Each structure stands twice: as structure tokens, then as C-alpha cells.
Homo-oligomer: A and B are copies of this chain.
């Protein structure tokens, strides 16, 4: 299948991230697709993902703080809002359905692979500017979109999870984030930004964050 189109920067960055296939086609992902992933591993992943989402929401809030225009601030804060008021309550609900109550969720010890990825993204944002943060955030947002699109119609025990990311709402969000990134690059670095030395450091952020996403799936696969 053809990968979905989330814009110019994403297409370039994924082609320059050696770990991209290891991330998007990780054995954990294949286990979701074929339905062979043990439930225990999925639940371990879900618990870590709850903590992940808190820091992910914080990272998008930092993006809003670092936005240069009202449009950027609105886009980033809209994502924080969606994460904090829709995605996270939904997560709590899914976990409750699996017998993991909110207190257990809150008490989960954050795994090193989780710490590595979330803090890398946040630190890239704090030490750099809006673009550095976008490049570090992109593998997660857009990688899940690409995975969702590829796993669409897989059915099986993980169909709900798959459909969340394969669905039009999430795919539309991915196209919006891709456009946000392309516009942010254009308005700061101009149309030929890929020729600037800066392009390399952005690619590095994307590639490193991708490596850390591999570690996140692996943490799920290794189990609790």
C-alpha cells in the first residue's frame, strides 16, 4: 500500500530516519495486526501509554507556548485540549474495561523507554524552538497515523485500537499536523529549507525520536 500523505517535511524526514521501518513494522505492531499480541503485553503498553499521554499533552502545550502566530497557538492548544479532555478520559475508560482502575493507572511506574522518549521530545522543545519540537513530536503523531492506515481492516482483538488511528478523525489530524509543520518551516526558513544546515538537525531530531519509538514498542513486547 501507499503510505498516507502528511506533507512535505514528513515525507522527507521518514525517508531519512533509518529506524522508520523498525518502528512502524515492529513485532508489537505486527502482533496488533495479526491479533497474536498477548493481552498482557497490550495492557502493559496501555498503562505506559497513559503516562506517555500526560507528557505528550505537556509537549503540545509547550508547542503552544513557543508558537509564533495565533494560528500556531490555536493548533497546538487544540491538540492539548483533545488529548486532555478526550483521549485521556477515553484511555481511562478503556483501561477500566480491562480491569485497570484509575488508581492503578496513576500508580504505574514509568518505564525507562517511556522516560527516554517523552523527555527527549520535551527537552528538544525547551532547548530548541518550535521547529525542533515539531520534528521530535512528528514520529509519534504521524507514525501512528501511518500504522493505523496500514493496519486498517485487520480486524481481530485489537480492531478498536487500530480503528482509532485508521479512522478519518485521526487521519485528518495527521494531515493538519503535517500542514502545520510545513507552514512553520516555510514561514521561518523559506521554501528551500532542506538545503540549510538546519535541515540536518531537524532530521536528527526526527530520526532519534523514531529510534526511541522502537524502544517504546519493544518495552510493550518485553512486557511488565
Contacts and interface: CB of A to CB of B under 8 A. Distances in A.
A13 to B, nearest CB: 17
A140 interface: no
A122 B115 contact: no
What bracket does the count of chain A residues touching chain B fall in?
A: 35 or more
A119 B12 CA distance: 26
A54 B112 CA distance: 21
A137 interface: no
A196 interface: yes
A80 B66 CA distance: 13
A71 to B, nearest CB: 9
A85 B78 CA distance: 9
A54 B70 contact: yes
A77 B186 CA distance: 27
Given A73-B61, A81-B78, A208 B115 contact: yes
A16 interface: no
27 contacts: A57-B73, A58-B64, A58-B65, A58-B66, A61-B61, A61-B73, A61-B77, A65-B127, A66-B127, A68-B201, A70-B84, A70-B88, A73-B80, A77-B81, A78-B81, A112-B116, A115-B116, A115-B208, A119-B122, A126-B126, A127-B129, A128-B129, A129-B129, A129-B132, A186-B197, A190-B195, A190-B197
Given A64-B64, A115-B212, A189-B196, 15 more contacts: A58-B65, A61-B61, A61-B63, A61-B64, A61-B65, A61-B80, A77-B80, A77-B81, A112-B116, A112-B211, A112-B215, A123-B126, A187-B197, A188-B197, A189-B197
